[in-house]
Amino acid sequence: MRTYTVPAVAVALALGLTACGAGGSGSGADDKSGPLLVGATPTPAGEVLTYVKDNLAEKAGLDLEIKEFTDYVLPNTALQDGTLGANLYQHKPYLEDFNESKGTTLSAVTEVYLPPMGVYSEKVEDVRELRGGATVALPNDTTNEGRALELLASQGLIELKKDAGAEASPEDIAKNPKRLTFKEIEPAQLPRSLGDVDAAVINNNYALDAGLSPKKDAVLLESAEDNPYNNVLAVKKGDEDDPRVKKLAELLTSPEVKKFIEDKYQGSVLPVTGN
């Protein structure tokens, strides 16, 4: 239950956005004749989709609408129940874990961009400067917590058990030479925790929403090389051949979107073709 717990306030915010966010009249998976309604977190997914809607969709014959969410759960449940026709905000390991945990049948259509996870701190300028016994905040969903621990392990701050895998938790730490302590926090709240901890490992979209620049402000940033956490356009299984989805997938991987991502995010978000 720890993996997908969402505070009531976050749920209320997300429901409010789904009720009054951008669009709202588009169709989900069942009606393939109307607009394609795509769920997204505001940054960067919502911004990328808005660029497509405003600059590319009409010429391509795609009627696109966007609905924004503030958490990682509701965009998938809305996709599963047919409210949405697609979503963009998650990486494939999260999608696969969500399917297994929730019994959903969601499928990745194409990779779009990499939002590198980073370590942020108001106490140090280099992650290796963390003091002994420092407190580090981690995202509390399974795949992103494991991803955060892998990032810390890449710098030798901890060593994970050999069989820890992508779903590692603090219990899977084999060596902890700095005696770091870990605080598991709902991902959207991690930027707010910076004043209370020595460092926090924050998902890219929440860092950007909080006004942080992953490229400039992170004291440690994920490498793009062989990174499995590219965000994907996802649909309910069976809808991969929806003509609207195919058009959107083509647009999201186009040279125009690649340039938009490079120009807007300046290395804080990386287009898949630019990795």
Q: State residue 26's pLDDT score.
A: 63
Q: State residue 24's pLDDT score.
A: 46
Measured distance CA(161)–CA(172) in Å, rounded: 6
Q: State residue 232's pLDDT score.
A: 98
Q: Average pLDDT of each block of 10 consecutive residues along the chain (275 residues)?
A: 38 38 51 89 97 98 97 97 98 96 98 97 96 97 94 96 92 97 97 98 96 96 92 98 98 98 96 68
Three-state SS at 162: coil
Tell me 27's DSSP state: B
Same fold across 2-116+227-274 and 118-221: yes
Pick the CATH number of 2-116+227-274 from 3.40.190.10, 1.10.580.10, 3.30.420.40, 3.10.200.10: 3.40.190.10
Q: Provide the token pair at 3.
A: 């993996």
Taking the domains of the chain in order of start, what are their residue ranges?
Answer: 2-116+227-274, 118-221
- Segment 90-121, tens digit of pLDDT: 999 999 999 999 999 999 999 999 999 999 99
Average of per-residue pLDDT values in the chain: 90
Residue spans of alpha helices (H) in 21-159: 47-55, 57-60, 74-80, 92-102, 142-153
Q: State residue 166's pLDDT score.
A: 87
Measured distance CA(135)–CA(180) in Å, rounded: 6
Give the domain 118-221 fold. Answer: D-Maltodextrin-Binding Protein; domain 2 (3.40.190)
Q: State residue 8's pLDDT score.
A: 40
**Please, are residues 176 and 158 in contact by the beta-carbon 8 Å criterion?**
yes
